[in-house]
Each structure stands twice: as C-alpha cells, then as structure tokens.
Amino acid sequence: MRLSRASERLTWIALALAVATVASAEEPQKWLERMNEALTTLNYDGVFSHWQGSQVETMRIIHRVEDGVVTERLMSLDGSGREFIRNGSTLACYLPDERKVLVVQEPSPSLLLGSLPKFGASSSQFYDIRAVRRTRLIGKKTRLIVVTPRDEFRYGYRLWIDEATGMPLKTQLCDRRGRVIEQVVFASIATPNHIPDSAFNPDISTDGFQWVKQIPMPSPAVTAAASSVSSWGALRLPPGFHMSVRVVQLMPGTTGIVEHLVYTDGIASVSVFVESHMHADHKLSGSEQVGPTSTFATMVDGHPVTAVGEVPPETVKFIATSVQERPSPGR
C-alpha cells in the first residue's frame, strides 16, 4: 500500500512538473501575442526616443482605432517639424525642410511605430523565445521577453512589455552577439478610451508646399508591359523564408518595369527589386548597411537586382545572389 501511494504521488509530481514546463514555455509567447494585440487594437499617445547607432530622435505617436479604421500621427519633436499622418490606407508625409507633402496610397495599413515584430505560432521554429524577468520601466511593471535567432539570417529582440496594457515600453533590435542595433524607449505613454479627430491635424502650415501623390496602382501601360515580363524568383532561400508578395511596378529613377518581390519568415522581411531593362554596360555590385537595414546589389544576366531589409547582411546577399529569371509562358 505504501509503495502504491508513493508511486501515485510521484506520478502526480511528474504530471505537475510537465504542466508547469508547458505553461512556462507558453508564457513568453502569450506575452508577445498580447503585445501584438495591444499595438493594433488600443488607442495610445506616447513620447519615445528612437536610437540608431549614435543618432537619437525624440518623437510622439498618437494611434487610434475606431470602427476598424486606423488613424496615426507621428511627429518629430527635435526641431525638423516632420510629421507622418495615416488615415486608413492613406499616408501623408509632411516635410518642412523640403516644403513638400508626399501622399502615398498604401495597399494595406501598417503601423508607424517602427518595425516591431509580429510573432506568430511558427516563430519558435526560428527564434528562441523566453521570459527573462519582471522589472519596472517609467513606473510601470513590465515583463522582459528575449527573442534570440537560431541562425545567422535574422536579428534578435528584447521587449519590455507593460503588464497592465501589453504595450511595448522599450524594444531593442540586436545582432547575434546581443549588441543593440536599434532601440525605441518610451518616456511616457497613455491609453485613452477616446482620441478626438483634432489630434490628427498637422501643426505646420502647408502654405506654398508642393503636394506629391504616389499611387502604386499600375496604369494600363504598366499592366500591359507586365504581361510580357519574365517572372523572377529566388531559387534558394534561408530557412523559414518564403515569398509573400510579388508586384510589377514603375519605380522612380528607373528606365523600365520593376518586379518587386518580398520574402519573409513571418517576422523579418526582405524586398527584392529586379529591373526588366537590361544594362549591358553597367556594373553593379556591393553591399551596404545603415543601422539595421542591409542592402545588397548585383547584376543577373544584365538585370540590376537589389535586395534590402532589416536583416543581417548575409541574408540579403543570400537571397539576391539566388534570384534567377523564369521566362513567362508567352515568351
């Protein structure tokens, strides 16, 4: 009887430990899911510092979700007067230094609060996600979640998530050695139930400004030309990456149609631009990195190919050098 009870007790202990282990593994992921939900559903108004290398800029962001429509306003507080105002799928960029307002029609609205990762269920395949500790930031209780890449093709993150609201109060983008490449730190943040329309009016006067509208929808000429353009694609990709977008468009500064491909692992993404016009006498090759953004340019059968993304330099080079032409059925 004693052996039976002891065995039963050990079984219950083992089950409890197993449940605790599963719960511990799920907890960091749940905090990331809560952060994703907070960023897309809450109203918030905050002031933060954006650090990139030795440069720092102080900004204010106002974000509202009303009847499913996202309205945002991002303002530089460091004297440049730059403002970015999004209403649904329309983004207006107010540039006082150039006395210009650039209006862009986006096919899908995206957050203006930097490139914060959107973690999903498959993220753990390529990232180690763990909760480190509880701490305090700007007087609020937070959870520090660390996301470490499992290979050299992605960056890692450190995220300080407010326990009360789920908002990220501090985020760091890190390389494989843990060195900070870019960070956003909030000095203050509020989550009001209501934000009036007047909060999204620009502070600057646009008298005498040039208004420039960029509409990415293809014209009939672009559509006709695109039908005869070969399809391009990467023959090899880093683990976990797949093509999510392919569009054909006109790009400023180019002489013909440009094919735009987007590859993503669900968190990191790389844009690849392939010019349809051949440049037989043009030699283009090389890499560049500015803050977290890496660029690699090369020539493939006379076509300029450029890959750019907030990923390590190895990733953009890997993808750009594996891009090949796939002739269209009509050719």
pLDDT tens, residue by residue, 179-212: 999 999 999 999 999 999 999 999 988 899 999 9
Residue 290 C-beta-side C-alpha neighbours within 13 Å: 4
**% residues pLDDT > 70 (the chain):** 77
Assign 18 a pLDDT band (cuts: 50, 70, 90): very low
User: CA–CA distance from 83 to each of 110, 143, 319 (Å)?
Assistant: 16, 31, 34
Given a cut of 50, whether residue 3 has pLDDT beyond it is no
Cα dist. 187→45, 60, 84 in Å?
Answer: 11, 10, 20
Phi, psi of 234, rounded to the nearest 5 degrees: -85, 125
> How far is the C-alpha of 216 from the C-alpha of 105, rounded, in Å?
7
**pLDDT score for 230:** 63
Asked if 249 and 262 count as a contact pair (C-beta separation under 8 A), the reply is no
pLDDT band, residue 54 (cuts 50/70/90): confident
Read off the DSSP letter of residue 239: T
Q: Which pair of tokens denotes residue 167?
A: 């908002």
Which residue in 179, 145, 174 sits closest to 162, CA to CA?
Answer: 145
Torsion of CA 33, 245, 112, 291, to 10 degrees: 100
The pTM of this model reads 0.79
Q: Are strands 210-214 and 100-105 parallel, antiparallel or unpaired?
A: parallel
Name the residue among 296, 61, 312, 272 with its Cα closest to residue 181: 312
User: Which of left, alpha, beta for 290 (phi over 0: left; psi -120 to 50: alpha)?
Assistant: beta
Percent share of the chain, pLDDT over 90: 49
Range in 21-25, 181-185, 271-275, 319-323 with the lowest mean pLDDT: 21-25
Q: How confident is the model at residue 126 (pLDDT cuts 50, 70, 90)?
A: confident
pLDDT of amino acid 301? 85
For residues 104, 316, 53, 157, the Cα torsion angle rounded to the nearest 10 degrees is 90
Note the pLDDT of residue 106.
72
Query: In b/e form, how buried is each residue of 173-205, taking b as 16+ CB within 10 angstroms?
Result: bbeeeeeebbbbbbeebebeeebeeeebebeee
Binned at pLDDT 50, 70 and 90, residue 95 comes out as very high
Q: Which of 42-46, 102-106, 116-120, 190-194 has the lowest mean pLDDT?
A: 116-120
Q: Which domains does the chain have, with CATH numbers?
A: 22-212 (2.50.20.10), 218-326 (3.30.200.100)
Flag the least confident range among 80-84, 247-251, 294-298.
Answer: 247-251
CA separation (Å) from 226 to 248, 280, 326?
Answer: 6, 21, 14
pLDDT confidence of residue 61: 95
Average confidence (pLDDT) over 125-129: 88
Q: Tokens 């809450």 appear where?
A: 42
Q: What pLDDT is recorded for position 177?
A: 84
According to the model, what pLDDT value does residue 216 have?
57
Say how far apart CA 63 and CA 61 lie, in whole Å: 6
Report how far residue 159's alpha carbon sits from residue 171's, in angstroms, rounded to the nearest whole number. 5
> Could you tell me the pLDDT band of residue 1, with boundaries at 50, 70 and 90?
very low
Q: 């953009």: which residue's tokens?
A: 316
pLDDT band (50, 70, 90) for residue 96:
very high
Average pLDDT, the chain: 82
- What is the bridge-based pairing of β-strands 156-162 and 231-234? unpaired
Residue range 307-323: average pLDDT? 94
pLDDT confidence of residue 331: 45
Please state the rounded mean pLDDT for residues 80-96: 91
In which band, very low, low, confident or very high, does the pLDDT at 112 lie, cut at 50, 70 and 90?
A: low
